[in-house]
Amino acid sequence: MDIRDDSLQKIARRHWYNFVDPVTKLLLALFLTMLSFDFTPLYFEISLVLFSLTLLLLSRLSKATVNAVSFCLFLIVTMVVIQGLFYSHNVHPLFSVMTITFYREGFLYAATMSARILIIIFAIGFFMGTTTVSENAKYLESIGMPYKLVYLLMSVCYILPQIQQNLSKIQFVERARGINPQKTVMQKVRSILPILIPLIIKTFDQSINRSITLQLRGFDRPERTLATPKYPYFKAKFSHYLLSIVILLLIGCKLWQIISRFL
């Protein structure tokens, strides 16, 4: 099915993931995360990792997801080493490297937690790769989220590049003035203020200007035209209710597991 985006005047092909609304995608991520917390056997965790990875690969693998995986990989490796060596329930040796012994219990514990981290990254990656800022903004407002909150969430995505641009401009000016890169930690901390103060003042000045502009345009007026969602979605409300009920049940189940340990 094809859809015409009037603002861009171009034809965009709709993929299967465009039929799933942004909130359902987020609830799905939460559902998979809760499943991984409720059912701990490693084979179940691995199947959840594979499921979320398949979901991601069948949609769009974004650069942000690859970055997130590489960001967490170091932590996962250190977690496996630390828990494999020092986990408090370590009993059965798994393997030894010279005089250092890795234990089965710690290894399994770290593997379970690593699987959870990967599930969260892949499921959120699915959401990130398949939705856009404007799609999320329009959809959130159309389902009743206060427009101020929608503005808050979405404006950050547009303001960030502006602040980064200001930062590189200020750093360029500082370098042009002959301020050299600092070597010691104290020198580095001291060098922060001459860059951060102008950056922050400029950023706040721009937000004052933005605030005046919004006030003049009647941002606070109660009569507003609601944004309409970008795409028609497949059974959005039903998916929200179903996933929310299942998530609540899983949370209840987990809480019961924790409470029953003390009974």
- Between CA 150 and CA 158, with CA 155 as vertex, the angle to 5 degrees is 145
Residue 97: both structure tokens together: 């490297």
Min separation Cβ 96 and another protein, Å = 17
- The reply to whether 8 sits near another protein by the rule CB under 8 A is no
Question: Whose Cβ is closer to another protein: residue 149's or residue 245's?
Answer: 149
Of the residues 220, 222, 259, 260, which one makes contact with another protein according to CB under 8 A = 220
β-pairing verdict for 100-103 and 93-97: antiparallel
- The reply to whether 163 sits near another protein by the rule CB under 8 A is yes
Given 3-state DSSP classes, what are the helix, strand and coil percentages for the chain, each rounded to the nearest 5? Answer: 70, 5, 20
Using DSSP, state whether 132 is helix, strand or coil.
coil
- The reply to whether 200 sits near another protein by the rule CB under 8 A is yes
Buried b (16+ CB within 10 A) or exposed e, 81-113: eebbeebeebeeeeeeeeeeebbbbbbbbbbbb
- The reply to whether 258 sits near another protein by the rule CB under 8 A is no
- The reply to whether 153 sits near another protein by the rule CB under 8 A is yes
Contacts of 247 (CB under 8 A, 6+ apart): 27, 30, 31, 34
- The reply to whether 40 sits near another protein by the rule CB under 8 A is no
Min separation Cβ 200 and another protein, Å = 6
Min separation Cβ 263 and another protein, Å = 21
- The reply to whether 88 sits near another protein by the rule CB under 8 A is yes
# residues contacting another protein (CB under 8 A): 65
CA–CA dist 39, 34 (Å, integer): 9
Q: Count Cβ atoms below 10 Å from residue 50 Cβ, excluding itself.
A: 14
CA–CA dist 111, 83 (Å, integer): 10
- The reply to whether 89 sits near another protein by the rule CB under 8 A is no
Q: Which amino acid is at 15?
A: H
- The reply to whether 91 sits near another protein by the rule CB under 8 A is no
- The reply to whether 64 sits near another protein by the rule CB under 8 A is yes
Of the residues 95, 211, 235, 255, which one makes contact with another protein according to CB under 8 A = 211
H/E stretch holding 212: helix 185-216
- The reply to whether 151 sits near another protein by the rule CB under 8 A is yes
CA–CA dist 201, 208 (Å, integer): 10
Give the residues lining the site for another protein (CB under 8 A): 64, 67-68, 71-72, 74-75, 78-79, 82-83, 85-88, 109-110, 113, 116-117, 120-121, 123-125, 127-128, 148, 151-153, 155-157, 159-160, 162-164, 167, 182, 185, 188-189, 191-193, 195-197, 199-201, 203-208, 210-211, 214-215, 219-220
